[in-house]
Amino acid sequence: MNIDDILKLIQAVSDNKLTSFELEEGNIKLSLKCEREQPQVMAVTAPVMTVPGMGGTAGVDLSAADQGALTSPAAGAASVDIGSDKVITSPLVGTFYSASSPDGDAFVKAGDRVKKGQVLGIIEAMKLMNEIESEYDGVVEAILVNNEEVVEYGQPLFRIS
């Protein structure tokens, strides 16, 4: 086998997205493999953000510096007025999806009644789909992020009343 044959094999393996390739020339033995990566869904409980002075004690208490980061355009996000002590925040950095598929209905809309543990959205991180569940029973006052928007750890996603 010459170098041109080897290069053609490499190109064919790459073009066909093979994950494994074996070749033996004596009595010819050939083995090809193409495994597809399956998306994995993992349920994640989002941390609860508690803004001091707004009631509630569970969750993450924010210092004055952290509160400024939430409303500061310089922090890389649009100005957000939290306005509630029931806020669901992102547990990780990733891409937010409001529905389970591009053509599917959104999990929730503003004004929907939700129960604790109900899926509100999905955050994709490192090809893992992480379900974001409500920490509260109540009504979705506002969805604070857009579909397919990149979110940061601790970024407010939903406001529940």
Three-class SS state of 96? strand
**Residue ranges of the chain assigned to CATH 2.40.50.100:** 40-160
Q: What number does CATH give the domain 40-160?
A: 2.40.50.100
Q: Which of 2-11, 60-69, 103-112, 120-129 is predicted with the least confidence, judged by mean pLDDT?
A: 60-69
Please report the pLDDT score of residue 118 as a whole number. 93
Question: What number is the average pLDDT over the span 108-114?
Answer: 93
Per-residue pLDDT band at 145 (split at 50, 70, 90): very high
More confident residue, 1 or 123: 123
- Report whether pLDDT(113) > 90: yes
- Report whether pLDDT(132) > 70: yes
**Pair of tokens at residue 80:** 């957000």
Report percent pLDDT > 90 for the chain: 40
**Pair of tokens at residue 27:** 């009595």
- Which DSSP state fits 38? P
Dihedral sign of CA atoms 143, 145, 149, 150 in order: negative
More confident residue, 86 or 95: 95
**Pair of tokens at residue 3:** 């170098």
Residues 3-56 pLDDT 10s: 777 777 777 777 777 677 777 777 777 776 766 655 565 666 656 655 555 554
At which residue do the structure tokens 């086998």 appear?
1
Q: 94 and 152 in contact (C-beta within 8 Å)?
A: no
**Residues 38/43/44/45 CA torsion (nearest 10 deg):** 170
Question: What number is the average pLDDT over the span 92-100?
Answer: 93
Burial class, 149, CB count within 10 angstroms (exposed 0-12 / middle 13-18 / buried 19+): middle
pTM to 2 decimal places: 0.50
